[in-house]
Structure 1
Amino acid sequence: MPPPPDAPSAPAARPRVPRFTPAEHRVHQATAALMAVCVLTAGCLYLPFLAELVGRRALMVTVHEWSGILLPVPVLLGPFSRALRADLTRLNRYGPHDRRWLRSALRRRGGRPAGKFNAGQKLYAAWIAGAVLVMLGTGLLMWSTLPQALGLVRAGTPVPLVWRTGATFVHDWLALAVILVIAGHVGKAYGDPESRRGMRTGSVDARWARREHPLWRHEDGERRGNGEGRDAQRHQPRS
């Protein structure tokens, strides 16, 4: 039955803007899951109360090693997605507006111009990518059979103690730094529900996009001008 003429109409849905594709969502999910496994198993190896609670240290070591080795795989497979390649390009491209964003953030002022990704997100992505590579390298060096397999030391010869000591020192302290940075990243995400919704659903509120990423439309316009991303018009916030 149609509603009576005087019945209030349902509020119109606020326009939304496509932000991430399903492929990008899966890469983010897989990377986050592997990182969580690395952190949790590391806690079981280093914190006595967790080690006693979980037990099975050999299993924790194996899971930690293989989750660390697999950690770069989602990102390495991600470039098969055109949208992810475009976003990786954005993350590696800095401009004057990024310096203004950082200055405003440090001074806790408004007026922070940003494209699809702000300067803080770009720095986080660059830092975590470098940290993962260093963690992977030091972890493989600590894995005593790998230097022998690569011919760095002769078969049956133990890995030099100074190598393992240095790798362990860097690995442990960088792991602590990674945990702190990830905690900050998660905290910022929980402080911005619309940003989380964008990663979960693939789209964000158009008003939020205009407020938090005012240069996003300009970025897409430049890419169209260069002949890239013919469908980028659909990804623009609409005024």
Structure 2
Amino acid sequence: MSRRPEAGRLPRFSPAERWAHRTTALLMGVCVLTAASLYLPMLAELVGRRALVVTVHKWSGVLLPVPVLVGLGSRALRADLGLLNRFGPYDTQWLRAALRRDRRPGSRPAHKFNAGQKLYASWTAGAVLVMLGTGLMMWFTHLTPLRWRTGATFIHDWLALTLGIVLVGHITMAMGDPEARRGLRTGSVSRTWAEREHPLWRPREKSPR
């Protein structure tokens, strides 16, 4: 049962969405840390037990899509995935303003999710699927020829580096927006923040579960 938002606050994320995000973030963090321990000699010496690290890395990667798949039972999560997958003319305007670093009021119109969040979500979803596919090819070596595994290793390694950089950017942006973080933590945001950052968003008084 979801809590009613405080006075002056708007419901933004359901409990199912918040738990899906937290679990995905935890698994992603484990993937990144174990990958760093496998590839950086300095960390490898500190951690040791390479075989255990490899096992943890494999299973955290395999489990990475599970929170979202389980969360599809939530109407709220399905609705938000639909919004993330839908681009409108205002998203083009938001991107142009972002590239120009234009912060004037009204220069960055956004619905529940802005264009940057939509691009990040789409890119990350695609990257996770590619990482999963290439990782499985590297894990089950008897299922594919050597040249496929060589290509999979190349893609997996470089995509992992790119994903790490993008994640750092995502975390940096989140650290600069306390109200957005509070929305993911509590499920609600202030009306002032919503009107400023997402002026096209008109939330219902009670969000779907």
Matched, 1:107 2:127: no
In structure 2, what residue type is equivalent to 1:57? Answer: R
Q: CA deviation at 1:233?
A: 4.3
Question: 2:23 & 2:125 partners in 1: Cα distance?
Answer: 15
Q: Displaced runs of 4+ in structure 1, greater than 2 A?
A: 232-235
TM-score with structure 2 setting the length? 0.92
* 114, 128, 145: which one aligns with 1:132: 128
* Structure of higher RCO (CA pairs closer than 8 Å, 6+ residues apart): 2
Identity fraction in percent: 69
TM-score with structure 1 setting the length? 0.81
Larger Rg: 1
Structure 1's unaligned 5+ residue stretches are: 1-12, 148-158, 221-231
* 69, 76, 81: which one aligns with 2:74: 81
Q: CA deviation at 1:144?
A: 2.9
Matched, 1:63 2:56: yes
CA contact (8 A) 1:140 1:146 kept: no
In structure 1, what residue type is equivalent to 2:34? Answer: T
Matched, 1:192 2:177: yes
CA contact (8 A) 2:10 2:205 kept: no
State how many pairs are aligned.
Answer: 199
* 172, 177, 189: which one aligns with 1:204: 189
Q: In structure 2, what is the equivalent of residue 179 of structure 1? A: 164
Q: CA deviation at 1:162?
A: 1.1
In structure 1, what residue type is equivalent to 2:93? Answer: R
Structure 1 residues 120 and 55 mapped into 2: Cα distance closer, same or farther (>3 Å)? same
Question: 1:125 & 1:146 partners in 2: Cα distance?
Answer: 33
In structure 2, what residue type is equivalent to 1:208? Answer: W
